[in-house]
Each structure stands twice: as C-alpha cells, then as structure tokens.
Amino acid sequence: MAPMRAAPRLAIVFACLFALAAFAVGCGGDSDSTDSTSGGNESAESRPAAPKSAFPSPEGRSLRELLKGADGPAEVVVSPAALAFFKGENRYPFGVFERDRTQVSGAEVALYLAKAPAPKPGAKSKPGNKGQAAKAQEQALDEPAVGPFPAAIETLVTQPAFRFVRASEGG
C-alpha cells in the first residue's frame, strides 16, 4: 500500500472543483431520501454520466467566469467521500446533498478543474492573513477551467448475495 502523503495542491484543486460541481448540478433530480437503517435502497442503481454536452463548455474561461455564468448559488451541498489521492488514475468520490443533509439521488453533475499554484516552500501564514491554501484557491479561480468531467452515479448498495442476514430475520 502506498504511503499517505499530503497533497495540498490537489486539495486546493478539489476545493475549486466543489464550487463548480455545485453549480453544475441539474435543477431536477429526485430528492427522496432513503432510510439508511433499512439495509439500503433496493431501487438504487448505477447510471452512466450525462453527456458532456449537457454542461457548459469552459471555452478558455476561468473557473471564476464559469461560476459567474451560473444561474445562481447552488441549493445543494457537494461533499467529498475521500481525502487522500495518489499519483495515477483516480476516481473522485463525492455525494450531493440538500442543505438539510438528505441525499439527492439522480443529480446530474460535472466537475471542472483548474491548476492551483504551488505554495512557496516553507511559507507560513501571518496572523490575520489568508493561509497559503486559501490564497492558492483564490488564484486557481482565475486559471483556465478544464472540463466538464460528467460524473456517473454508482450505487453503494450491497448485492443480496453478500449481505449478512441475522438468524432472527429469517432467510
């Protein structure tokens, strides 16, 4: 297993990406919540990502310009499901939630990226200043946007053959 390393630049890029992922969420979608104590939603299923054409093209614009072109502030929260990533091909797991923390199922989401400048080695924030990560995130908003990268919906429901059934439940 590869050692866990801090990836500040990657974290900054993903912070910028959240802002855009929230803006790219389709207005529609089923907002029914599921009861996590019932063993999962039997009707949950994986679905392929929406086509790239369903999302705005960056066309040389920055992340900030893409955000300004959005219909308004997002009414949803995009929450990461992983914090450590390693060099190579990665997936970026996340959930989309209503502000009351109920999960949004069926949301069509695309992610946009921008390169974040590397913090200066050994740089420390002074009291009252924005930290290096916050400064880099702010600067990344003015970098050219790359994307969209439409997100597929992948169910996390355990297949019946692999579920544990208590003797008292029958089966």
Structural domain of 130: 8-169
- Alpha-carbon distance 139 to 114, whole Å? 10
156-165 pLDDT per residue, tens: 888 888 888 7
- Alpha-carbon distance 152 to 162, whole Å? 23
Reduced DSSP (H G I as helix, E B as strand, rest coil) percent helix, strand, coil of the chain, to 5: 25, 15, 60
- Alpha-carbon distance 79 to 34, whole Å? 17
- pLDDT band at 134; cut points 50, 70, 90: confident
Our count of domains for the chain comes to 1
Q: Is residue 2 part of a domain?
A: no
Q: What does residue 77 show for φ and ψ, rounded to 5 degrees?
A: -120, 130
- pLDDT band at 54; cut points 50, 70, 90: very high
Q: Is residue 27 part of a domain?
A: yes
